[in-house]
Structure 1
Amino acid sequence: MQRSSTAPPRAVSRQMRWSNLQRRWAPYVFVSPFFILFLVFGLYPTLFSLYMSFQSWSQTDGWGHWKFVGLENYSFTLTDPMFWRAMYNTVWLGVVSGLPQHLLAIPLAFVIHMGLSRFKTFTSAVYFLPYITSTVAIALIFNTLFSTQKGVINQTLAYLNTLPLFGWFLPDENINWFLNSTIKWGIALVVIWKYTGWNTLLYLSAIQAIPRELYEAASVDGATRWQQFRFVTLPLLRPMMFFAVSLTIIGNMQLFEEPFVLLNGGASSATQGGQTVAMYMFRTAFEWLEMGTAASIAWLLFAFIAVLTIINNLAFGRAAQGRGD
């Protein structure tokens, strides 16, 4: 008698239920690592810092020994002269180091696209190199460049000072960059050097997406390269300008590594002149052990960045979404 190869109904039913269960839950299982990591290392620290901004606590008190103080941390921060000095430094650096990045990056991207197309890959790699270079290595290099007596920057300024065109506004003596009055200029130069190449690549990718037919039509109509740049490239770059400026605002308002390393972690005599809000927050938390105050600084900085982002959206957003002229 031949045995039937058909599976029993109960086994078939279990297989179907298991198959349906796999189809239903498999997507959630595969995406769960992201959500687990985000909850543990993203959402929880964010909400905990908000909770901590209303508490008084130091690491030396031990876990759980915090005391509710309401808005006292925010009140102290908003009346702290050091916070407003750090905020002034941050805004100053954001403007002085942020604007040149884009004013240099847009023409550079246009020149690379139009005149250096054969060497586009090599040129892009060269411009991107400062962005991926270690901040510590950058700081060591610029510490040498900023040297008062033998630094290349001071020697270059001294040479330019001998020329009639530059001598009338350049200083007669070498600049000590590590003073409260000049350290911000040094930090700004480092930031410009590091991030101009990154913005150049952003604008270059946007320019490459512009149809070549538009330039050809403009050339047929007699437009010069400058007119092509002004009337074709710039209007079509507005969405990328919105994106790049948003990144600059967020990055410059959280500027930490460059001033922290150049100012020796706050041990430099020029710390007050170059200390940013992020650096001041770090020192408040880990040098002065005031975690609640540091958390309040973080959320005030978040609110300030949000306001600047909204202003940037009002300035570029309509154009970026195709609703501006």
Structure 2
Amino acid sequence: MATVPALDKPPVVLADPPTVRPRNGWRKYWHLYAAISPFYLLFIAFGLIPVGFSLYLSFHRWDGLGSMEWAGLSQYQYLVSDSDFWSSIGNTIIIWALATFPMIFLAMVTAVMLNAAVRFKNVYRFAYFLPNVTSVVAIAIVFGSVFSTNFGLVNALLQAVGLDQVAWLNTPWGIKVAIATLMTWQWVGYNAIIFLAGLQTIPSELYEAARMDGAGPLQTFFRITLPLLRPTLLFVLVVSTVTGLQSFTEAQVLLQNTSNDSTFSGGPDHAGRTMVLYFFQQTFDNNDFGYGAAVAWGIFLVVVIFSIINWRLVQRRDED
């Protein structure tokens, strides 16, 4: 029987896939861009443009009314040699240190206690968060009465234990302690809530294993809680640095009636004149908007440097 030879089939040629072209590009999603545009428009109008104008203004002399006069780098050169500016930096750093480290300690202790509490957790959280949402001006007025020399609660307590009165708002260190105490009271609750959120991310199995191994509360805290809270601690430290170095309202309200020199003088011997207070004094008391802008950029540089230092310190400990 004869076999029929198989015929070779021609190869199948696949056609190139059709090219997908975007339809109208961004016009297809214009309604989405329009939905998010208010934020960017407001940021440009009230954030980016003022920042750019302040940088431009720092190279000019201007009293706010007349024409601007080009000053070049002369205002930054004067800023570097301005003893009042360096004094305000020293005051700010001291107040920041007196407020931040006790605040972080108290906030962490409070967070640990809140995390261990079983009943009324939400009530405690509200109570500790309340000082942060209260008006700073109102808080400062209350603390002005608390630290009053003749009728203040603090001096009443000192007299009750047999100690002499302290003129808190009329001595350099008393002014710094009063401002730092106000800032500590204001931010302890807020940072306690942040620490509490960090504590609740730590697995409970780690604590159970530590208890089975015979670890006590202090060993558990330093070997488990504190190492795992380092990211939260870094966040709290950086935010506290940024807010603490820009303190203004606390000193301005507490000390506005303690000196006849200026509303922004910072009290006797300028002991409470922070960097931002000095910026307001140069800008609005002296009507020197150009130099005030240079001071503002100097403040920005100081805040950035201290934030980087704090971040590097915490990160280095984490790497070790």
* Partner in structure 1 of residue 246 of structure 2: 254
Partner SS, residue 65 of structure 2: helix
1:220 aligns with 2:212: yes
Q: Which amino acid aligns with 2:168?
A: W
Cα RMSD (Å):
1.9
In structure 2, C-alpha distance between the alignment counterparts of 1:137 and 1:78, rounded to whole Å: 36
Is the CA contact (8 Å cut-off) linking 1:128 and 1:197 kept in structure 2? yes
Counting only pairs closer than 5 Å after superposition, residues 28-177 of structure 1 correspond to structure 2 as 28-61=33-66, 65-114=67-116, 116-161=117-162, 172-177=163-168
Write out per-residue CA displacement over residues 218-242 of structure 1, whole angstroms, 9 at most, x where no aligned residue. 1122222222211111000000011
Q: Which amino acid aligns with 1:259?
A: A
Q: CA 1:142/1:26 → structure 2, altered by over 3 Å: closer, same or farther?
A: same
Q: Which amino acid aligns with 1:246?
A: V
Is the CA contact (8 Å cut-off) linking 2:169 and 2:175 kept in structure 1? yes
Write out per-residue CA displacement over residues 52-73 of structure 1, whole angstroms, 9 at most, x where no aligned residue. 0110001131xxx111101111
Q: CA deviation at 1:271?
A: 6.3
Counting only pairs closer than 5 Å after superposition, residues 163-202 of structure 1 correspond to structure 2 as 172-181=163-172, 182-202=174-194
1:241 aligns with 2:233: yes
* Partner in structure 2 of residue 9 of structure 1: none
Q: CA deviation at 1:268?
A: 6.7
Range with bigger deviation, 220-229 or 202-211? 220-229
In structure 1, C-alpha distance between the alignment counterparts of 2:295 and 2:108, rounded to whole Å: 34
* Partner in structure 2 of residue 282 of structure 1: 280
Q: CA deviation at 1:266?
A: 2.7
Write out per-residue CA displacement over residues 15-41 of structure 1, whole angstroms, 9 at most, x where no aligned residue. xx89x8753322221121111111111
Partner SS, residue 319 of structure 2: coil
Partner SS, residue 178 of structure 1: helix
Q: How many residue pairs are counted as aligned between the two chains?
A: 292
In structure 1, C-alpha distance between the alignment counterparts of 2:169 and 2:138, rounded to whole Å: 18
Q: CA deviation at 1:211?
A: 1.0
1:324 aligns with 2:315: no
In structure 2, C-alpha distance between the alignment counterparts of 1:191 and 1:241, rounded to whole Å: 18
Is the CA contact (8 Å cut-off) linking 2:265 and 2:281 kept in structure 1? no
Q: CA 1:81/1:318 → structure 2, altered by over 3 Å: closer, same or farther?
A: closer
1:207 aligns with 2:227: no
In structure 1, C-alpha distance between the alignment counterparts of 2:188 and 2:58, rounded to whole Å: 35
Q: CA deviation at 1:178?
A: 1.4
Q: CA deviation at 1:119?
A: 2.2
Partner SS, residue 304 of structure 1: helix
Q: Which amino acid aligns with 2:313?
A: A
Is the CA contact (8 Å cut-off) linking 1:106 and 1:200 kept in structure 2? yes
Is the CA contact (8 Å cut-off) linking 1:179 and 1:273 kept in structure 2? no
Q: CA deviation at 1:94?
A: 1.0
Higher Rg: 2
Identity of aligned residues (%): 35
Q: Which amino acid aligns with 2:310?
A: N
In structure 1, C-alpha distance between the alignment counterparts of 2:68 and 2:191, rounded to whole Å: 44
Q: Which amino acid aligns with 1:315?
A: L
Gaps of at least 5 residues in structure 2 are 1-22, 257-262
Q: CA deviation at 1:200?
A: 0.9
Write out per-residue CA displacement over residues 121-170 of structure 1, whole angstroms, 9 at most, x where no aligned residue. 11111111111111111112111111212211111122234xxxxxxxxx
Is the CA contact (8 Å cut-off) linking 2:242 and 2:303 kept in structure 1? yes
In structure 2, C-alpha distance between the alignment counterparts of 1:117 and 1:280, rounded to whole Å: 47
Report the structure, 1 or 2, having the larger helix content: 1
Partner SS, residue 227 of structure 1: helix
In structure 2, C-alpha distance between the alignment counterparts of 1:258 and 1:271, rounded to whole Å: 17
Q: Which amino acid aligns with 1:23?
A: K
* Partner in structure 1 of residue 12 of structure 2: none
TM-score computed with the length of structure 1 as normaliser: 0.85
Is the CA contact (8 Å cut-off) linking 1:101 and 1:192 kept in structure 2? yes
In structure 1, C-alpha distance between the alignment counterparts of 2:84 and 2:155, rounded to whole Å: 31
Partner SS, residue 161 of structure 2: helix
